[in-house]
Amino acid sequence: MSQHQPIIGLTVYGPQDDKGFNIPHEYVQGIVEAGGIPMLLPPVGAEFVARWLDRVDGLVLAGGGDIDPSHYGNSGHETIYNLDVNRDLTEMALARLALQRHIPTLAICRGMQVVNVALGGTLHPHLPEIYGEQVEHRVAPRDPVEHSVRVTPGSRLAEIMGTRTVHTSSWHHQSLDRLGAGLKAVAWADDGCIEAVELTANDRFIAVQWHPEHSIDRDPTQQTLFRELVKMAAATAAAPPPAAAP
């Protein structure tokens, strides 16, 4: 790790059931073990987003509850849960500005969906109605499940993880439908569900539908995502500022 230990912004869940802001500890573990300094970004609206991004070297858009379907022109579904207006507004603004600035970003599960919607894409509201039950992406009531994912050879994701077959911990009931501007799919479950996307014009962006933080202790390939994020953030922070115009 370079002398500059990069600061990684990490989005968190909004208050639920009278509890305060929170985030599963595995996200923090993944950042710390990769050599980054985590900084928690609470869902308080878009007001602070630009100043946060002035101070961080990288960003993790974490998983969590569903995005309000009004953001992608859908009427909703009975299975949608844990809607959070402030979190949606905060993370949509974070995603747009971070991508505009090419800030190294790792988007996980909900985070990948946030980026897709922020770029004009849409979501499947409930996967079993689209892909059936060939692959379980979440088991009742709302528990994670493991399944394999096929990664496109030659993709940035395949390069980072060093494999074309990833064994994932999955915990979602929605997925990407129409891709947002500039996104391309690079990984799929066996049922055809999109499991990872990249940006054609931004190689500092990684997005996966599964939860790598769930299995970093037992599967070293999952920690490579956090290591790559911190590596990119350190390199970006160490780069000299652009020359001033004459």
Let me know if 109 is a catalytic residue. yes
211 in catalytic set: yes
**Helices (H), ranges, 56-187:** 85-101, 110-118, 128-131, 156-161
Q: Report the 10 Å Cβ neighbour count for 227.
A: 17
Q: Which two tokens stand for residue 130?
A: 């689209």
Contacts of 9 (CB under 8 A, 6+ apart): 39, 40, 41, 52, 53, 56, 58, 59, 60, 94
Helix (H, G, I), strand (E, B) or coil at 198: strand
Q: Which of 109, 193, 195, 198 is catalytic?
A: 109
CA-closest candidate to residue 59, choices 232, 201, 219, 215: 232
Q: Helical H runs in the chain?
A: 25-33, 49-55, 85-101, 110-118, 128-131, 156-161, 220-238
DSSP state of 143: B
Catalytic residue among 193, 213, 214, 228: 213
Distance separating alpha carbons of residues 182 and 197, to the nearest angstrom: 10
CA dist 17 → 78, 82, 84, 113, 118 (Å):
20, 10, 13, 24, 28
Q: Of the listed 137, 147, 173, 211, which one is catalytic? A: 211
Please report where in the chains the tokens 């980026």 appear, as a residue.
115
Question: Which residues carry out catalysis?
Answer: 109, 211, 213
